[in-house]
Structure 1
Amino acid sequence: MATTDAPAPLTLPRPAAHARASRSVVWVLIAASLLVKAGGFAWDFLGYYIASAHGTTAAGAAMSLFGIGWCLGQAVSGHLTDRAGQRTALVLMMTFAALSCVALTVADSLTTLLIVSVCLGLTMETYRPAVSAAINTHIASSGARARAQTALYWSINVGIAVCGGLGGYAAHHYGYRPMFLANAAVCVAFALLALRLLAGRRPAHDDQAPAVAFRQVLADPGLRWIAVVSVAAMVCAWGMVSVLPLLMTADGLPPTAYGTAMIANTVAVLVLTPPMTRMLIGHGETLRFSPVVVLAAGTAVLGAGIGFAAYQHTTLGYSIACTALVPGEVCYSIAIGAYLSTAAPDGAVGRYQAVISASSAVASLPPLGIAVALNTGGRPLVADLLVGCALLGVAACLPLSRALRRTAGARHRSTEGLL
């Protein structure tokens, strides 16, 4: 990937051939991330599966427990990535993911399903901290890092949409359990790929960056505020997977309708992501616009899109809503990718990504409340809650901007002190 200046090495200077090989590792991991999300039927169809058997309230409770597990899983994965290495984290977490998918195929009672929901949450996107760390490890240029981090988010969005499209039709024709077994197989394949592709953890040397604890990571005010905005944005974006099944089940629509809506989202992601990326990043090293402005715009679009979805009752209406969410998804992924490519220090990329991914996990907790709101206040209340959450995220971008300016100023003064 071409850049306008010579990349600064992370540790030791690397030959061009080595740099190309490193970039190849990154793109293979990004492609594998897309495949594991495209085959993530147990994660994406958990709500629909439980709702069809036990009702929307039970599904909301299961998805909330799933979100709790997701938060815990991100913390574990981030810690493993930074301390034990990317390969160890990927192999262990993807193996546990496969076992959880298999457990879902044999779980029958609601109690057992709720326990399995927590286990599935523990494995949801636990590969993301390791892949983000690999991007910053294998790519030296900040501009190339930003594009790769954006591509990771893009691959995940495409994978989710493909999963919904394929899974909706597969569930209708073959049932859910074969899909969950396919999910397990994909996770095993990712674990084997990581075992072969990535190097083991190298022994620490005195010249390497010191280990960074979660306490130090969470002391970064910019990361704290970007996590707040991420929660608000992801409540709306995650609604495509968690809220839409509740709404569509209430409308009596079959899984094929959900698959159609997700296919519409997939097509929009494929069509809109390249031109929007060129518009926002271009060929330079930085975003053409402030990352905070891009993040605020994306959050607002996500809120409007999911608010519109709350009032729909037809497959066409839900498909249009899923398409309307895409510009917000792209803006969000580009802004977060730019932040991770520059703000996360060496030795803490896994934890930084874990905190941001945990924001998505927190955003998956509201389905129980959404289910209650749907049963008590109807769709207007659901829409008001989702749009209000997006507005809070947009408002949080103001203190985020201040925090990032203070952090940049502090780094500049520290650099001047070393000269």
Structure 2
Amino acid sequence: MAVLTSRPAATAPGPPTLPRPFWMLWLGTVINRTGAIVQPFLSVYLVRVQGFTLAQAGAVMTAFGVGSLCSQVISGWLADRIGRRATLTGGMLATSAAMVVLGAVSGFGAMAATAFLLGLTIESYRPASQAMVADLVPPALRPRAYGLLFWGMNLGYSVAMVAGGWLADHGARAMFGVNAAVAVAFAAVVWTTVPESRPVGGSLPGGRLRKVLRDRLMLAVCAITAAYGALYAQAFTTLPLAMAEQGISRAHFGLAMALNGVLIIVVQPLTGPWVARHDPTRVLAAGTAVVATGFALTAFVHDARGLALTVAVWTAGEIVVAGTLPTIVAALASRELQGTYAGFSGMSWSAGAALAPVLGTTLLPLGARVLWATTGLIGAASALGALLIAGRVRQRTQPNP
């Protein structure tokens, strides 16, 4: 079993550094996210270009979400079965093909079916990437490595939002070609520069999924992750609706939310050393509690300045959670099950995020205080859960004296 923390050997000539294959994986991730412009603007394309009703567009997006939910476990299983590099590159090539088809077809049935296939492939790189990091990076450096991947994704996403917004208005169909091209570029970078990292002889004869389902500690982490997903995803589901009811314009809302990306880009690289010095499970609990506090404070927001303050609070928590959650999952997984465990973790987050709009839109009519107090309590429960399992995680992942 992997260990959660470790220190560089006393004879090391200098501070440990991340290996070159990790940086190539990071570069490919940034390239991919820079061109990931279809998903944020797909609903706009469906309504404006395809002429779908809001109900039809919602159904297509639901098909995409179902595919994305399934992809995490499937790709994680494949990463352990056929290898990390093959799963990631194959998934990105399949994503590229699905993008091209989605940009070419029309009609509700064809769009819904292709959107499902796109969802099934577009997130396939995540469990494989997470498993690669666990294979390539020593335990003591994993919080930093996972944090840098998160930082790179946000760096690329900030570019994608600008480019995607322009293309959505001026050349919507070109979005699919651009997104398809960067998916191929990601696959090419990984295939040519990152060696296969799956442990030799690490293939199990069967029962990978059953092994995870029997791991009660990992299931507890999945429950904590799902609750956190339901909390965090409010930022992109219910929060815009709630702020509109408070009279905050879309322009001011966009500026306040832009603070999230700015803080991540500026602060995230600076947090690695601090996170690495502390117990990841306790850091996860603290970060989740800060996110919950930020959303709970939204109940008292009446203008854009107040919203920006709450965004800054929950972003601070998000930054530390980003590097610690995958670190914990990697530590709990055996070497031959890194992809499968990462897939279950990703599916748990996606499940929570899928519940977020249902929860939020149900509570919003009851008033802002009810909505954000309940959301904050969900986050508090997630943080408490992390604290409750901290001892068991340490006991299982620390080396015997």
Which TM-score applies when normalising by structure 2? Answer: 0.80
* Residues 1:275 and 2:270 are matched in the alignment: yes
Structure 2 distance, partners of 1:166, 1:321, is: 27
Larger deviation: 219-228 or 152-161? 152-161
Question: Once the 2 structures are TM-superposed, how far is the Cα of residue 186 of structure 1 from its aligned partner?
Answer: 0.9
How far residue 74 of structure 1 moved from its aligned partner, in angstroms, is 0.8
Contact preservation (8 Å) 1:74, 1:355: yes
Unaligned runs of 5+ in 2: 1-5
Percent identity (aligned): 26
Tell me the equivalent position of 2:351.
362
- In 2, the alpha carbon distance for the partners of 1:248 and 1:115 equals 34
Q: Which amino acid aligns with 1:23?
A: P
Deviations 1:119-173 (A, max 9, x none): 332224311222222223233x3212332123223323443444335434553x4
Maintained 8 Å contact 1:231/1:360: yes
Q: Which residue of structure 1 aligns with residue 183 of structure 2?
A: 187
- Secondary structure of 2:354's counterpart equals coil
The corresponding residue for 1:343 is 332
Deviation at 1:7, TM superposition (A): 10
Deviates more, 1:358-367 or 1:399-408: 399-408
2:390 corresponds to which residue?
A: 401
Higher mean C-alpha displacement, 322-331 vs 84-93: 322-331
**C-alpha spacing 1:93/1:313, structure 2 compared with 1 (3 Å):** farther
Tell me, yes or no, if the aligned pair for 1:34 and 1:156 is still in contact at 8 Å. yes
Q: Find the aligned partners of 1:389 and 1:234 in 2 and give their Cα distance.
A: 10
The whole-number CA distance in structure 1 between the counterparts of 2:170 and 2:333 is 44
Offset at 1:174?
2.3
Deviation (angstroms), 1:24: 0.9
SS in 2 for 1:185: helix
Aligned to 2:375: 386
Deviation at 1:99, TM superposition (A): 2.5
**Is the contact made by 1:373 and 1:381 (CA closer than 8 Å) also made in structure 2?**
no
Deviation for aligned residue 1:326? 1.7
How do 1:9-408 residues align onto structure 2 when only pairs under 5 Å count? 23-47=19-43, 49=45, 61-106=59-104, 108-139=106-137, 141-171=138-168, 173-174=169-170, 176-199=172-195, 205=201, 210=204, 213-243=208-238, 260-261=255-256, 263-281=258-276, 287-288=277-278, 290-307=279-296, 321-366=310-355, 368-369=357-358, 372-373=361-362, 376-377=365-366, 382-405=371-394, 407-408=396-397
CA distance in 1, matches of 2:368, 2:54: 14
Counterparts of 1:238 and 1:263, CA distance in 2: 16
TM-score, normalised relative to structure 1: 0.77
Mark the CA change 1:176 to 1:307 in structure 2 (over 3 Å): closer, same or farther.
Answer: farther
Change (3 A) 1:61 1:97: same
Q: Deviation of residue 77 (structure 1)?
A: 0.7
Q: Distance in 2 between matches of 1:72 and 1:90?
A: 16
Separation in structure 2 between the aligned mates of residue 83 and residue 322 of structure 1, nearest angstrom = 41
Per the TM alignment, residue 69 of structure 1 is displaced from its structure 2 partner at its CA by: 1.7
- Displacement of 1:73 in angstroms is 0.3
Q: 1:13 aligns to what? A: none
Deviations 1:232-271 (A, max 9, x none): 21223333444456668888966x7776455422211022
Distance 2:139 2:343 in 1: 20
Amino acid at match of 2:230: V
RMSD over equivalenced CA pairs, Å: 3.9
User: Could you tell me which amino acid in structure 2 is paired with residue 357 of structure 1?
Assistant: G
Structure 1's unaligned 5+ residue stretches are: 9-15, 282-286
CA pair 385-35 structure 1, distance change in 2 beyond 3 A: farther
One-letter amino acid matched to 2:23: W
- Looking at structure 1, the residues matched to 11 and 333 of structure 2 have their Cα atoms a distance apart, in angstroms, of 17
**Contact 2:232–2:353 (CA<8 Å) still a contact in 1?**
no
Which residue identity does 2:234 align to in structure 1?
A: G
Report the alpha carbon displacement of residue 85 of structure 1 after superposing the two structures with TM. 1.0
Q: 1:202 to 1:298 in 2, by over 3 A?
A: closer
Q: How many residues were matched structurally?
A: 390
Q: Distance in 2 between matches of 1:76 and 1:46?
A: 24
Distance in 2 separating the partners of 1:169 and 1:101: 18
